[in-house]
Amino acid sequence: MSDTSAVKLFLKKASAHADINALGPRWEQRFADAMQGLRDDSMRTLFKTGFAQAIAGGISPKEYERATGWDFDTDEEFREHLRDLWFVFYPDEDPAGFC
């Protein structure tokens, strides 16, 4: 079962850092650095949980597209995008362990 506050936090942060119309060089790493730089441990944990839940189906591609401006043709393409992004943030961790 997903924690809706975690998923909402993930979408809010993705909206601020992964907007397709405002991406710059190394945007993925800048996004990861910003989230890992959050001062509040509970917020970092909540973000990570929401991110993992998003990968596991906690959000639809349309929800992410509305938040970020991205456009995915399939659910699999969307999940792959999230998984690839996860490994920029947490290269040695499996998102399944955080759902």
Task: Convert the pLDDT of each residue in 25-70 to its tens digit.
Answer: 999 999 999 999 999 999 999 999 999 999 999 999 999 999 999 9
pLDDT at 1: 42
pLDDT at 2: 54
pTM above threshold 0.85: yes
Backbone φ and ψ of 37, nearest 5° = -90, 0
The Cα 9–Cα 44 span in angstroms is 10
